[in-house]
Structure 1
């Protein structure tokens, strides 16, 4: 219990201390108009209150990643919680803050446009392809996962019988609507309520296990276990843990979502709470599910058996109903189901906006929104027929590679503006070595090379990229960025 509480306290301290440092280095300007003021269009650029934007941002970024990832990461033992804390404070929240604030400074631009601006056209074209692929994978994962969970809930808890295909069609139909209607009609109106449900669910589950007579939070582990790899199948912690636990520590998917709220935020002063703070909130959710996975089952072998019997979704189902009973279990389980649904629709929405930027097509008219959205849903529908396990593995690698590109983009921005760049360069270099090592070593997705060789290449490549970004960016000043929005008065909010 003490280890869990220490981790939560560290995340909160990270927000107030390191978050303030990051904000100061970036240099906010409360008199600068945000895109919600300068580009208001009633569809994607719509001013919303700060609490509402925060809750929408939290739901947008918190799909099944901060639940499924930490559950799978828990197979390594309590050490997984250490990565959630360190990764969230120094990498994930920094990544989310810059992806949101740079979007604000660039008129609500999507991540490929920002990458192109600060790293060049080659990087822009790479990110356009990679971001669309990632978002399609996210959309498919966040259709298949909730469809399977809802199907299981209905078939297990009621006398009704539904098929997985039926639920996929229903969720896809909702995604189409949510993707093309104005952001404040569904997302801005209902997602804050879902965000409150998410917080209630997470707090309810950890409270239930804390007062349970059958379970004790991390009760079966010794202090020395907190820094040990306890994987029952002897899986190496490096680099797989840093790919497995993505959304709870650092996730490139967030870079595609932050611009959605960058188009709705009222003032730059709200950026730390909305972007850095939402990632800290997701980190706490990840800690809760990691702790539940480590505590609800008798041992790591028990957790392994539960995962083998139905994946992380089975862990969610078993823990929710085991800790809260039927009624509470249904509420908690639905809270988990809401996460991927509220991220899946915004994944498709982000895809539409990225394509619209690429083809320079305005999105005020319904016809243009459909032209961008329909092909995406056709491709997504085809991908739902691919095995979920394969999609998830590719999603994990694509997710972290996108995070790497966003962090290098932020480093280039800081270097060009003569600001302290190491707050983004260090996590960018680390995650670069993780991704390269993983793809070289992994025999299923990558090249199956020996771990030692893969690691050496990964580290050398990360150092080389660091030197390259510093060389092309440092000392160029801000004259190339004269078209950034200049400080002006801020109009009243609504």
Structure 2
């Protein structure tokens, strides 16, 4: 089979997965177009603002598509074509389910943030944990999505990294405190279209210039440094397959959804679109560079940002390359600002603190940005490693919450509990094995991960009756 078919089959699988499996997920959730959404019942002109489904989809895509579906798949390409398999299966059976439920449960719970969504389904202990955990994750995301694009812009201009960091932080602050339809609602749809055009343009140039797709692909672990595929690949390729960060973003758009039938294309659909973007960048990493060693050498010289720059300019020329790079810069910037905005909303929900008045938004936003400015001075690689584990752990908890919700409704919970079990194993194994965790041997870490996953599933099944006894 020609190697290009790997790419074609992968993209086709994502599309078919959306057309078929998203309807299964929607049916088990029980979307009801007759139920009034928070955008209709709680409109406040700031955060609860009804928008068109097409506009919400484009905003949601930019909200969730930060550096994850670009930098993550580039790093994941070092492991070889198994990265493509995880992006496809993860997006359809884990990421899409996670994103749909995180968005639609927020719709059902008056647009509440992820700690409340989890708390309603898993109890007050998880709710309190998630309040702290989700805010920390959002701050890490906001900081990662300042330093990443600032470095790219600094490499393209005469302005220093510090100047770009200050400019991006200033924009983030405005996007955090202004009504959602003033900046985000106006410019995000345009940015989303640019992003999709650039991703498509880079893919088209691979065909036009006659590149041999995946020239060194082998169905083994191809990482040049010998890093284990399990569990590292599943943490590295975060937003391209499943990401807890999405659960922090979905409630923001849940407050703008006009009716429940829009949830499938908005939440599940945006995850599949992000999966396509991740496939493109994983393919570029494995196709533009002849071998994993060549890709690794470029990463060593300048990180994923250098890969983006080199690939874009080589395939699309100076002008097209700059446009492609700007399209990639848009990704993190348009997730970083909503990360800080989501952190503001999460804290406001916790304090039951109205955000209609400007001063009340400032009281929460200013301290957030002070902490963010401090964290931005940390090493990017260290922040990214912590973000990867925290991100997938949050996704795991949200999947368990979705499974509990399905049990409460007497529905088929396995669509959420199976990926939740798998991700429990991934996150536990990584925490035990990684240097930022316990640093244990891989085989020991793996068995602990399997035990944690199995134990979590057994505990969940044992609590089914208590879940069934409480309303959904």
> What is the TM-score with the length of structure 2 in the denominator?
0.98
What residue is the counterpart of 1:33 in the other structure? 36
Q: How does 1:185-200 map to 2 (within 5 A)?
A: 185-200=182-197
Give structure 1 regions of 4+ aligned residues with deviation exceeding 4 angstroms. none
Is the CA contact 2:408–2:470 (under 8 Å) kept in the aligned structure 1?
no
Does 452-461 or 106-115 show the bigger shift? 452-461
Is the CA contact 1:136–1:348 (under 8 Å) kept in the aligned structure 2?
yes
**1-side partners of 2:456 and 2:354: how far apart?**
36
**2-side partners of 1:479 and 1:242: how far apart?**
34
Shift of 1:470: 2.7
Shift of 1:479: 5.0
What residue is the counterpart of 1:116 in the other structure? 119
Cα 1:46–1:478, aligned 2, differ >3 Å: closer, same or farther? farther
Is the CA contact 2:216–2:290 (under 8 Å) kept in the aligned structure 1?
no
Aligned counterpart for 2:95 among listed residues 83, 92, 95: 92
Aligned counterpart for 1:337 among listed residues 329, 333, 341: 329
Shift of 1:153: 1.1
What residue is the counterpart of 2:212 in the other structure? 216
Shift of 1:476: 4.1
Aligned counterpart for 2:243 among listed residues 246, 251, 256: 251
Is the CA contact 2:142–2:337 (under 8 Å) kept in the aligned structure 1?
yes
Q: Residues 376-422 of structure 1: CA distance to partner in whole angstroms, max 9, x if unpaired?
A: 10000000111111111111011001101100110111111111000
Does 351-360 or 292-301 show the bigger shift? 292-301
Does 39-48 or 451-460 show the bigger shift? 451-460
Q: Residues 130-161 of structure 1: CA distance to partner in whole angstroms, max 9, x if unpaired?
A: 1001000000000000000000111xxxxxx2
What residue is the counterpart of 1:179 in the other structure? 176
Aligned counterpart for 2:459 among listed residues 458, 468, 486: 468
Q: How does 1:8-407 map to 2 (within 5 A)?
A: 8-154=11-157, 161-213=158-210, 215-218=211-214, 220-221=215-216, 225=218, 227-407=219-399
Is the CA contact 1:29–1:269 (under 8 Å) kept in the aligned structure 2?
yes
What residue is the counterpart of 1:456 in the other structure? 447
Shift of 1:472: 2.6
Secondary structure, counterpart of 2:290 in structure 1: coil
Q: Residues 109-137 of structure 1: CA distance to partner in whole angstroms, max 9, x if unpaired?
A: 11001111111111011111110010000
* Unpaired stretches in structure 1, ≥5 consecutive residues: 155-160, 482-494
* Unpaired stretches in structure 2, ≥5 consecutive residues: none
Is the CA contact 1:418–1:475 (under 8 Å) kept in the aligned structure 2?
no
What residue is the counterpart of 1:484 in the other structure? none
Q: Residues 198-226 of structure 1: CA distance to partner in whole angstroms, max 9, x if unpaired?
A: 0000000000111114x3222x145xx2x
Q: CA RMSD in A?
A: 1.0
Shift of 1:465: 1.4
Shift of 1:234: 1.7
Secondary structure, counterpart of 2:321 in structure 1: helix
Q: Residues 162-187 of structure 1: CA distance to partner in whole angstroms, max 9, x if unpaired?
A: 11111000000000000000000110
Q: How many residues align?
A: 469
Q: Residues 32-70 of structure 1: CA distance to partner in whole angstroms, max 9, x if unpaired?
A: 000000110000000000110000000000001000000
Does 335-344 or 292-301 show the bigger shift? 292-301
